[in-house]
Structure 1
Amino acid sequence: MQNLVQKLLPRTTFKQAVAFRAYCTNKILDIGQPTASSHPQLLNEGEITPGITAEEYITRRKRLLELLPQNGLAIIAAAPVKMMTDVVPYTFRQDADYLYITGCLQPGGLAVMSHEFGLCMFMPETKPYDVLWQGKIAGVDAALEFFKADQAYPMTKLREILPDIIRRSSKLFHNSNTATSTYLDLEAFRKAAENNCVKDISLFTHELRLIKSTAEQKLMRDSASIACQALLQTMIHSKTYPHESMLSAKVEYECRMRGAQRMAFNPVVGGGCNGSVIHYSRNDQKVRDGDFVLMDVGCELHGYVSDLTRTWPPCGKFSATQEELYELILQTNKECIKLCKPGATILEIHNYSVETLRKGFKELGILQNWKSDFYHHLNPTSIGHYLGMDVHDCARVGYDRPLKPGVVITIEPGVYVPSSFEGSERFAGIGIRIEDEVLITESGHEVLTGSIPKEINQIESLLNNFCFGSTMHGLNFMKASTS
């Protein structure tokens, strides 16, 4: 097969190869994404993306081929560009599977893998007009020399080459989330799909991505550290500026200033009863004096995300009711973290949390009966999820899977009492979640978000001793912003 493909289309002409070698001798190599020569502050020599070497990417490909059936074929497309308006795109984020295998951060490409030829990348071609408006992008040369593909061709040759490869394969695996008409419309692919020979590649990629390498663990520590520092600054900021929108802006600013490329998701900033809406995202209310604010935030650092939540009263003092309910969630958080170790499962930890919270809600008078089905209205979420390149990472891996060293999960007990709660009125409209990131280690676990306060005395001390003062400038700014 490899010889056939080479005969169909030589990888590069001699003239092209000489030109590329000359191009590579330039001091700065621009391929549309950071390289060690263009961004020495981000990448070391030998790295394809910050922190991840070419050798590690090649190892990932070998591991994927070990999972792929002998005559199987994997097709993984880059994420599409999504448009905000007819000419304005949303900020591009690469598909995690495509990034995990190739290291390419750019749209328009297609990765094909098989035992016969390894990794073949089909790359977009640009015209001078495109470069003028969008800048340079990675092409065939970059695929071979920088991303270390075994074969590479321009996307315009895909219809000449890929159909025959598909016909020679007995099983096809593709990323259905980023499937594109460039290969879906091929007759060979349609026939394979009609014969039930096409499955989702996430069956394999999620298995590979579940256990983080040493390099990935460092990136996740760094991502968590950035999010913790940003949220700490935002907590300090909250006493003077208790507005959901301002706190959302503050945490994003602090994350970006520390090197994060983007937020992992739109920050959840729920003041008062908004905190009882699990994925609240409007972030447009002022937090009333004495109310809690629940902030669920995370950032992305070179492809790896963080996810943590803290709940606190911006006024600087927990009420007696808030303290009672908060302590229950806090103790559940701490006890569940203790259960995180090799061999445990998220499902087992979840079941423990449910039992603990049911009993606690009964003692506080929130539940009439600790076995009541109303519990699921107070907390309909899982105790946690896998974390990595995506927020809810490795979705194909069940929560009954025994945890292994290198797996990162969240632990996030919570309670979401609706404003219309018919039980004890003092708890109505209170939302609390305390979420930490936990790395499973050989000896137990490491809490990646351990630097952010969650004890009541720590939070009150932070807000009352380290917050910004209510300066005249701050007060005037708040009045102007709300007038």
Structure 2
Amino acid sequence: MSNTEFSSRRNQLLQSMQANSICLIPAADLVTRSRDTEYSFRQDSYFQYLCGFPEPQAWLVLSNRADFPNGLSVLFCLNKDPVAEIWHGRRYGPKQAKQDFQMDMTYVLDDLEEKLIELIDGHDNLYFAQGHNSAADEIVFSIMQSLRQAPKQSKLAPNNTLDVRSMLDEMRLIKSDAEINIMRQAANISVDAHKRAMQFSKAGINEYHLEAEIHHEFAMQGAKNPAYGTIVGGGNNACILHYTENNQVLNAGELVLIDAGCELQGYAADITRTFPVSGQFSEAQAALYQLVLDAQLAAFEWIKPENTIKQATDVAVKTITQGLLDLGILQGKLEENIEQQTYRQYFMHGLGHWLGLDVHDVGIYKIEGQDRPLKAGMVLTIEPGIYISPEANVEEKWKGIGIRIEDNLVVTKSGYENLTHGAPKTISHIETLMQTTLKDS
């Protein structure tokens, strides 16, 4: 992601803020894993979106005060420290950060509170995500209190504090060409990982073996981390929507559901595929699988500007409900089943969600109580599913089958682009791919 992209985002935010306003965005901090070790660092999504600086404990400050006609961007970061860098890795330090990230000013983190008092003083409005970062809250509250208690020093605290998240969420909802390009790369890596898992699958291995194949493919293509906890659910484990134990043996004759996507430069992919452990669908499995695929493809037809996710959901629900009636899993009339939502015992989640820097990305789904129209540049998942519990009151052949098919779609000016189309999902494509091993391909 270029500095031009980050600068453009900061300028857009500055122009959207009320006049004479200042905005504070803290970076993420390290999180303790156990005693003196930390989890792998992952930057705060809002901070990442506005500057791309990759280190913890930093702060971004933006001002549109009149004496900064082009806006002001200030970065606070850890100072260079040869000893600390031997132990924990290189730091940019303020001087290099100013140059590499094109900031107007940079300061060492140790000067944060003193400099923030100077920077905030005299602004009418403070934009800040209160409650998003409790440690940052304490710092901001302390500085505001200091400003309020210093009238004799001619210092003035902002009269208004506004939540910056609503503005940033709207900005993040519409992806730029640069963002979509990164997400396309993340999707391609994740597609390869799913194909690899299909080719590795066989009866007798463990769920975690497929998880390992997925993660290995991510890392080998430069995506060091998954975007979320990988789901590998064999048999009736697929009926647990957020199953992540991934520690059971895969059995012949069962399906396995894999929900996995990599994270690349902060952006998530999110793919689900369901396939037979041994490479061949049974008649019952194929019937339910085709029903889910039909519902997804029907929903795809509604993904275009000015349509809504609700319209796509209604089509998917109608398709699934009619299919469950045709298979004898539901009884009665279509309209009554939809009205009574009998399908929800088998399809109990939403059709999809926004996708971006967070796997469940920011952005409201309704505006003034009405379903939000889709716009070009939005990225979302479409993921219908059917999950039939082993305890369900249905024929034995349906019990314990869980199926979900999930793709990542970019809304275009005339329709959509399916970023994850390369992951096999027709029955014939899956079965054909699974006849070849990794060595053969």
Deviation at 1:186, TM superposition (A): 1.4
Q: Provide the rounded CA distance (Å) in 2 between the counterparts of 1:468 and 1:53.
A: 39
CA contact (8 A) 2:381 2:406 kept: yes
Q: Does 1:408 align with 2:383?
A: no
Q: Provide the rounded CA distance (Å) in 2 between the counterparts of 1:153 and 1:332.
A: 54
Equivalent position of 1:46 in the other structure: none
Equivalent position of 2:124 in the other structure: 170
TM-score, normalised with respect to structure 1: 0.81
Equivalent position of 1:313 in the other structure: 276
- How many residue pairs get aligned? The number is 417
Equivalent position of 2:221 in the other structure: 258
From 342, 347, 363, give the equivalent of 2:310.
347
Q: Provide the rounded CA distance (Å) in 2 between the counterparts of 1:262 and 1:398.
A: 32
Q: 1:301 to 1:227 in 2, by over 3 A?
A: same
Deviation at 1:73, TM superposition (A): 2.2
CA contact (8 A) 2:223 2:264 kept: yes
CA contact (8 A) 1:290 1:319 kept: yes
Equivalent position of 2:11 in the other structure: 62
Q: Provide the rounded CA distance (Å) in 1 between the counterparts of 2:436 and 2:396.
A: 32
Deviation at 1:179, TM superposition (A): 4.5
Equivalent position of 1:44 in the other structure: none
From 188, 198, 217, give the equivalent of 2:144.
188
CA contact (8 A) 1:261 1:302 kept: no
TM-score, normalised with respect to structure 2: 0.89
CA contact (8 A) 1:78 1:95 kept: yes
Q: Provide the rounded CA distance (Å) in 1 between the counterparts of 2:176 and 2:158.
A: 37
- For residues 413-458 of structure 1, the C-alpha deviation after alignment (integer angstroms, 9 at most, x for no partner) is 0012112112333212111000011111122111111111111111
From 453, 457, 462, give the equivalent of 2:428.
457
Which amino acid letter does the alignment assign opposite residue 447 of structure 1? Answer: N
Equivalent position SS for 1:246: helix
Equivalent position of 2:153 in the other structure: none
Equivalent position SS for 1:153: strand
Deviation at 1:166, TM superposition (A): 3.3
Equivalent position of 2:88 in the other structure: 134
Q: Provide the rounded CA distance (Å) in 2 between the counterparts of 1:347 and 1:152.
A: 46
Which amino acid letter does the alignment assign opposite residue 350 of structure 2? Answer: S
Q: Provide the rounded CA distance (Å) in 2 between the counterparts of 1:304 and 1:152.
A: 27
Q: Does 1:419 align with 2:390?
A: yes
Deviation at 1:215, TM superposition (A): 1.4
Deviation at 1:213, TM superposition (A): 1.4
Equivalent position SS for 1:59: helix
Q: 1:416 to 1:195 in 2, by over 3 A?
A: farther
CA contact (8 A) 1:358 1:375 kept: yes
Write the mapping of 1:330-409 to structure 2, written as runs, cut at 5 A. 330-369=293-332, 370-371=337-338, 372-396=340-364, 398=366, 400-409=371-380
Equivalent position of 2:186 in the other structure: 223
Q: 1:137 to 1:396 in 2, by over 3 A?
A: farther
Which amino acid letter does the alignment assign opposite residue 173 of structure 1? Answer: Y
CA contact (8 A) 1:239 1:463 kept: no
Deviation at 1:287, TM superposition (A): 1.3
Deviation at 1:102, TM superposition (A): 1.0
Equivalent position SS for 2:355: coil
| Stretches of structure 2 lacking an aligned partner (at least 5 in a row) | 149-156
Q: Provide the rounded CA distance (Å) in 2 between the counterparts of 1:443 and 1:374.
A: 35
Deviation at 1:201, TM superposition (A): 2.0
CA contact (8 A) 2:121 2:158 kept: no
Deviation at 1:195, TM superposition (A): 9.9
Deviation at 1:231, TM superposition (A): 0.8
Q: How much is the aligned-residue C-alpha RMSD, in angstroms?
A: 2.2
Equivalent position of 2:400 in the other structure: 429
Q: Provide the rounded CA distance (Å) in 1 between the counterparts of 2:25 and 2:146.
A: 16
Which amino acid letter does the alignment assign opposite residue 135 of structure 2? Answer: T
Q: Percent identity?
A: 35
From 101, 104, 107, give the equivalent of 2:53.
104
Q: 1:389 to 1:84 in 2, by over 3 A?
A: same
Which amino acid letter does the alignment assign opposite residue 177 of structure 1? Answer: H
Deviation at 1:173, TM superposition (A): 2.2
Q: Provide the rounded CA distance (Å) in 2 between the counterparts of 1:58 and 1:189.
A: 31
Equivalent position SS for 2:37: coil
Q: Provide the rounded CA distance (Å) in 2 between the counterparts of 1:436 and 1:190.
A: 51
Equivalent position SS for 1:119: strand
Equivalent position of 1:286 in the other structure: 249
Q: Provide the rounded CA distance (Å) in 2 between the counterparts of 1:101 and 1:189.
A: 27
